[in-house]
Amino acid sequence: MKKTLLAFSAVFVAGTSFSQIIMSEDFEGTTAPAIPATWSQTTLATDGGFKSGTAATLSSQSFPVPTTNATKMLVTNDDGCNCDKSADRLISPTIDLSTAAAAVMEVDLFYAQGTYQGATESGKIEVSIDGGTTWTTAQTLTGSASWQNVGINLTPYVGNANVKVSFLYNDNGGWLFGMGIDNFVVRQPSPDDAKFLSASVNRYSLTSTNNTLSLQVKNDGANAITSLTVDWNDGTAHSSVISTNIAVGATATINHPIAVNYATVVEKTLNINITGVNGNTDPNPGNNTGSKPFNTVSANSQKVVLFEEGTGTWCGWCPRGAVAMEYMDNTYPNTFAGVAVHNGDPMTVTAYDAAADFSGFPGANVDRVLLGVDVSDQDFETYYNDRKDLITPVGIAIQTGGSGNNVTVTVNATFRSNFAAANYRLGVIISEDNVTGTGSTWNQHNYYSSQTNNIALTGAGHNWQTEPDPVLAANMEYDHVGRALLGGYSGQAGSVPAVIADGQVATYTFNYTVPATSVRANMHAVAVVIDQATGEVLNAKEISLATLGLAETSTINMEVFPNPASDVVNVNFEGQGGDYTVSIIDLSGRTVASKVVTGAGATSVAVPVTGLVSGNYLVSIANETGSYTQKLMVK
């Protein structure tokens, strides 16, 4: 089966600003499959090339076309045809630029620049000034997993009355995917017009730390942009004139020179406004603004990265997912939490599979921020490294309870910032290792086998190259299998209050009955804190259900990070006043480092470990009423 193209629905609207529209076409007036009568095309394909229709009617299994802001569009589908689409050219009507002072073309494009079986598709936008007899390349397209708004500068062609624009798709002799076109606009722009597209800044930060605010800005005007006046405002203006160089129709990243930095724990909304372009007032201020939320935290918490891997016994490439999950679990046991979300096999949890919404298998969602990403040891490690050091506003402690197959999981989430209108939830994911079954649906298909593609792959208990295809159920054990969502995929409503103060703990107890078909000793609970506004998993924590009544961290919400550590280990805990001793103890019981903390409340202690021999240790927090420990690895 062909590898599924990863695609996500997105809305992109061609910006018309306060400029004169020369030509526009949204394809809503078409009758499928015909293209508009004023448009034309040339093709070698047996299916006729570009066709009109809806996203649903123009999609195929491996080329799922997302919807745009409207119903209809034009698409050429190489996946559905598997024919000669090496020269599919869609041609616009004649554009009269004889009297225009300047011109730009904007269009929504769905084009992945995908590769399959050694061939890679290509796409170009070309311009003709002789009615289509000859063509000049205006832009070679780059791929995207979603619709993208693309613009080209037509000002070099003003003065000509017989201009045409074409979209050229080439499958380069392969069986590839295709191209979609929508919302075609040609306009005469205002001289100086900037369009704010997006902004980025760290969502959370430690106090007294510089954070860079970056803007994505598009030049919607007729002149190159050489300077922008940009203000970010949190109640106080932070305005600066920023030198740049953005060509007509191009997009650039602009870094604001005034850092976002607060000395205390705060919650802010950063309102962003482009107030000037090239020293002039922007004639279209309506597309110049945006905002970003920002919080400082009183202390960082250990970040655990959640990997949800889409898999299925029917999926012959999915053994590499099992190998990657094992590698991450063994390499980062304290900061990686993995769940295998099964699809189309006996281990499927329908609600979980549907909510995860993997568009290809194997695929993965990382912290529910990186969605539908590729799967391998190397890929997983890259995603992990991108996420592991992020500042998080919440730490998690877990306590299990109950008896027999009746389990309680109590999640304590300690927040390290102030929130006036928080929209967070707690949830728990139940997973199970060593899962087995009988029958053909439990056989693991294996495209790495010497019987099929003969590709080297070792891990998760198998040399997959020497195994048959499929690997019989009698020889398979499945790990990290997602079994239940306590509180649902989005978490338990009402589990976190709307108003939160720095240091406040949100607590919720989840109940779970282990099915008779599962083995509790092989099960884990993964607690998560989920941001409802974005879907992001802010933090996670995993605990075994083998022995109930244990706590992953103590009742004083102890956190140890980084873990493994090489230079310094940070120990966060919620003291109850009085004196505490923070110690590092080797496995012979000898104290190798310690610090005394007096009058401890919410406390963060840094303990150097550079002089310690690599290996396993215990971190202990003790006072006159008791002691609490966590494992620590020094590398």
Q: Which fold has domain 194-296?
A: Immunoglobulin-like (2.60.40)
Average pLDDT over residues 382-399: 95
- Identify the CATH number of the domain defined by range 305-544: 2.60.40.10
The pTM of this model reads 0.75
Cβ(130)–Cβ(162) under 8 Å?
yes
User: Do 305-544 and 20-188 fall under one CATH topology?
Assistant: no
Per residue in 9-22, pLDDT tens?
Answer: 333 333 344 568 99
CA atoms 465, 468, 472, 475: torsion sign: negative
Predicted confidence at residue 1, as pLDDT, reads: 31
Supply the pLDDT for residue 17. 42
Q: Is the pLDDT at 518 greater than 60, yes or no? A: yes
Rounded CA-CA distance 614/387 in Å is 25
The rounded radius of gyration (Å) of the Cα atoms in the chain is: 29
Least confident segment among 245-254, 457-466, 551-560: 551-560
Q: Which of 213-222, 421-430, 561-570 has the lowest mean pLDDT?
A: 561-570
Task: Tell me the mean pLDDT in the region 267-277.
Answer: 97
Looking at residue 1, the DSSP 8-state letter turns out to be -
pLDDT for 393: 96
Residue 138: per-residue pLDDT? 96
Quick: pLDDT tens for 99-133: 998 999 999 999 999 998 889 999 999 999 999 99
- CATH fold label, 20-188: Jelly Rolls (2.60.120)
Does residue 554 have a pLDDT over 70? no
**Residue corresponding to tokens 């002039």:** 280
The pLDDT score that the predictor gives to residue 552 is: 56
Between the CA of residue 355 and those of 10, 67, 68, 89, what are the distances in Å? Answer: 18, 19, 22, 38
- The enclosing H or E element of 188 equals strand 178-188
pLDDT the model gives residue 160: 97
pLDDT in tens, 335-372: 999 999 999 999 999 999 999 999 789 999 999 999 98
Q: Select from 437, 430, 436 the least CA-distant residue to 483.
A: 430
Residue 534: pLDDT band with limits 50, 70, 90: very high
Instruction: Summarize the confidence of residues 279-295 as an average pLDDT.
Output: 93
Mean pLDDT value across residues 162-170: 98
Residue 514 is predicted with a pLDDT of 97
Asked if pLDDT for residue 615 goes beyond 90, the answer is: no
Tokens 């394809």 sit on residue? 27
- Give the residue, 610 or 624, on which the prediction is more confident: 610
State the Cα–Cα distance between residues 372 and 353, nearest whole angstrom: 13
* pLDDT at position 359: 78
For the record, the structure tokens of 61 come out as 């299994």
Query: What is the distance between the alpha carbons of residues 308 and 290, in angstroms, rounded to a whole number?
Result: 32
Q: What is the mean pLDDT of residues 46-53?
A: 97
For the stretch 54-69, what's the b/e string if a residue is b when 16 or more beta carbons lie within 10 angstroms of its beta carbon? ebeebbbebbbbbebe
User: Under a CB-based contact definition with an 8 Å cutoff, are residues 598 and 623 in contact?
Assistant: no
Residue 206's CB is within 10 A of a number of other CB atoms, namely 16
pLDDT value of position 625? 58
Q: Give the per-residue pLDDT at 550.
A: 63
Domain ranges of the chain: 20-188, 194-296, 305-544, 559-634
Residue 551: its pLDDT value, please? 62
What's the pLDDT band for 506 if we cut at 50, 70, 90?
very high
Average pLDDT over residues 398-409: 91
Structure tokens at 89: 């050219």
pLDDT at position 597: 82
| Range from 141-150, 272-281, 443-452, 532-541 carrying the lowest mean pLDDT | 141-150
Architecture of 559-634 per CATH?
Sandwich (2.60)
Q: What integer best gives the mean pLDDT of the chain?
A: 91
User: Tell me: the pLDDT tens digits for 69-104?
Assistant: 678 999 999 999 999 999 999 999 999 999 998 999
519 burial via Cβ count (<10 Å: 0-12, 13-18, 19+)? middle
Give me the percent of the chain exceeding a pLDDT of 70: 93
Contacts of 588 (CB under 8 A, 6+ apart): none
pLDDT band with cut points at 50, 70 and 90 for residue 323: very high
Mean pLDDT is highest, among 301-305, 366-370, 558-562, for 366-370
Strand-strand pairing, 119-120 and 115-116? antiparallel
pLDDT at residue 145 in the model? 85
Residue 633: band (very low, low, confident or very high) from pLDDT cuts 50, 70, 90 = confident
Residue 52 near residue 74, CB atoms below 8 Å:
yes
> Please, which pLDDT band fits residue 545 given cuts at 50, 70 and 90?
very high
